[in-house]
Amino acid sequence: MIPAIFVFVYLGIVLYIGIFAFRKSTGREKAEEYFLASRSLGPFVFLLSLFGTNMTAFAILGSSGHAFNNGIVTFGLMASSSALIIPLSLLFIGTRIWALGKKYGFMTPVQMFRDRWECGNIGTVIFAVQAILLVPYIIIGVMGGGTTLNGISGGLVPYWLGGLIVAVVVMSYVFFGGMRGTAWVNTFQTILFLGFGAIAIGTIGYGMGGFDQVAQKMLASPALAPMLTRERVSPLFFVSYMFIPLSTMTFPHIGIFCLTAKKMAQFKKTVIFYPLCILSIFLPCVFLGVAANSVQDSPGIIAKQLARKELATKGARMLPAQRDELREKMAGDDVILLLLERYAPVWLAGLLGAGIMAAVMASDSQILALSTMFTEDVFAYYGGTAKFGEVAQVHYGRGFIVAITAFAYLVALKAPATIFDLATQYAFSGYSALFPLMIAALFWRGSTKWGALASTVWAIGSVILIGVFQSSMPAPAPGPPIIVWAVGGVDVIARTAGGTTVCGFMPVVPITIISAILMVVFSMATKKPSAETLTRYFSRA
């Protein structure tokens, strides 16, 4: 329990930071202070909190788990494209969101959409879709917290209890501190996991005999050498990941965070340093995940290796339920925790565990974003604030925080998918499909509310379709996919061991392209917003 005690101390610190932020808030019952920290975050806090809120359990546990089963290619999939696309998105989209929010008082992206396209109830539809797609991301945070505490404590803290503790702590400091508390906690957490990430890779690498020796050992093994290549991922699947970072600026919590900056100039430093932060996170996590394949003295890791081998050799003859059970056993979401248990001293494992916990707890901003959207886009828009006052709006927002956290925890207890799969197949795909919505709102005069509605309905409909399809057709064993639909020798739709492909691409590619087409077709066929609105958004003045 010694490493777990370090983590509990860390949880107490972040809880204090949130409550301290509440005490330091100016006008704590004002909506703009609670939900946007009065648009006053400085450059240091803005950079680290923005980065921290985007680096969740997906980045730490998900990337190492994916690398454990797929190899070094994970770095190219996740880090390379993100390091290019996310900073460019912040530069060209984030700055415009900030400027419009500052000028017209927007507190959520939906408020901007409603004003830009002169739409009311369609804005509510957009809110509902964004909220539904954000829930899996919140669930990921709870899953990561439960996995981390369970692994750090050597199983003494069960998964359900670890997830509950993390959910309660996050809910508490978001409840009290609002955006200011969330930003301060994210800043502290980012410093923590950036620093401890470097310590972790050094400590574990030394314990394993040096990473050069590990790499040479893997290269000399016919079974492990493919882990250091891209051969486990097809070129089309690799290209598909270029679409995943498009989701960044359509995530409501990122859009709302862009509104908290004190000055637009703060985006410059963020754009410069963001790729370096991505490198410092993904490099150690991915490499540790890959290196874990060479470990032969950790019972937990050996069990995963055996489960993967059994699935590859016998999976085709197994029942779907048996294959799913093996996939759960071979999932590598906790592989870094197992490496810490094996190669780090007890006290250091506790410190590093706190650093990992810092990353997986970034669901705080998603919870606050949903609360902000609910109070602004539903409660305030339909007259709640005018009737009950701004203080009641903040109270309703806090009540929503409690409700959504409880819901995410209950779902996380039953979620069978790995952290990586849950994020890429549902949350990221849906938000990438909303990317044409954001581009059209900010840069295309001819876009209309009906184009926005068509794009939004398609985004949520396609994600639901993927879920229904994959539920009705269990994943096959590793090897040749199940061809569902082929035309002229081209495999249009196939069910693979890792998900679904459309013409060899991940579903996110056709979903996003069709979303853009729908936006263009419906906008060209329907009435444009008023000249006054277009002038406000697109005149050079």
The dihedral through the CA atoms of 60, 14, 268, 116 has a sign that is: positive
Measured in Å, how far apart are the chain's first and last C-alpha atoms?
62
pLDDT, tens digit (0-9, with 9 covering 90-100), for 396-413: 888 999 998 898 888 888
Region 316-324: mean pLDDT is 88
What strands lie across the sheet with 499-502, from one edge to the other? 482-487, 490-496, 499-502
**350: its two tokens:** 């506790």
Provide the total of helices (H) and of strands (E) in the chain, helices listed first: 28, 3
By the 10 Å C-beta count (0-12 exposed, 13-18 middle, 19+ buried), 220 is classed as exposed
Which of helix, strand or coil describes residue 29? coil
Predicted confidence (pLDDT) at residue 420 exceeds the cutoff of 60: no
Best CA proximity match to 418, nearest among 139, 171, 197: 139
DSSP labels, 419-447: HHHHIIIIIHHHHHHTHHHHHHHHH-TT-
Which of helix, strand or coil describes residue 119? coil
Predicted confidence (pLDDT) at residue 102 exceeds the cutoff of 60: yes
Please, what is the Cα angle at 267 between 266 and 269, to 5 degrees? 75
Q: What is the pLDDT of residue 182?
A: 86
Best CA proximity match to 227, nearest among 74, 81, 421: 74
Structure-model confidence comparison of residues 94 and 203, the more confident one: 94
Predicted confidence (pLDDT) at residue 67 exceeds the cutoff of 60: yes
DSSP labels, 475-537: ---SSSPEEEEEETTEEEEEEETTEEEETTB-THHHHHHHHHHHHHHHHHHSPPPPHHHHHHH
Cα 115 from Cα 232, distance rounded (Å) = 47
**5: its two tokens:** 């005690």
Residue 182: CA count within 13 A, CB half-sphere: 33
The dihedral through the CA atoms of 100, 104, 105, 107 has a sign that is: negative
What confidence category does residue 377 fall into, taking pLDDT thresholds of 50, 70 and 90?
very high
What is this structure's pTM?
Answer: 0.88
Give the residue ranges of DSSP H helices in 292-334: 299-314, 320-330
Q: Specify the fold of 2-456.
A: Sodium/glucose cotransporter (1.20.1730)
DSSP labels, 223-266: TTGGGGSSTTS-HHHHHHTTSGGGGGGGSHHHHHHHTTBS-TTH
Residue 41: DSSP 8-state:
B
Domains of the chain, residue spans: 2-456
**366: its two tokens:** 């998603």
Best CA proximity match to 276, nearest among 173, 214, 197, 166: 197
Predicted confidence (pLDDT) at residue 207 exceeds the cutoff of 60: yes
Structure-model confidence comparison of residues 213 and 55, the more confident one: 213
The dihedral through the CA atoms of 507, 513, 514, 518 has a sign that is: positive
Predicted confidence (pLDDT) at residue 25 exceeds the cutoff of 70: no
Region 74-100: mean pLDDT is 92
pLDDT, tens digit (0-9, with 9 covering 90-100), for 262-305: 999 899 888 999 998 888 888 888 988 999 999 988 999 999 99
Best CA proximity match to 431, nearest among 161, 132, 44, 171: 132
Which positions ≥6 away from 7 have C-beta within 8 Å?
A: 148, 149, 152, 350, 353, 354, 357
What confidence category does residue 442 fall into, taking pLDDT thresholds of 50, 70 and 90?
very high
What confidence category does residue 415 fall into, taking pLDDT thresholds of 50, 70 and 90?
low
Q: What is the pLDDT of residue 302?
A: 94
DSSP labels, 272-284: HHHHHHHHHHHHH
pLDDT, tens digit (0-9, with 9 covering 90-100), for 110-163: 999 999 999 989 999 999 999 988 887 788 778 878 888 887 787 888 888 888
CB-CB contact of 304 with 335 (8 Å)? yes
DSSP labels, 470-483: HHHS----SSSPEE
Cα 348 from Cα 337, distance rounded (Å) = 12
Q: What is the pLDDT of residue 21?
A: 75
With b for 16 or more beta-carbon neighbours within 10 A and e for fewer, the 454-469 pattern comes to bbbbbbbebbeebeee
Structure-model confidence comparison of residues 290 and 470, the more confident one: 290
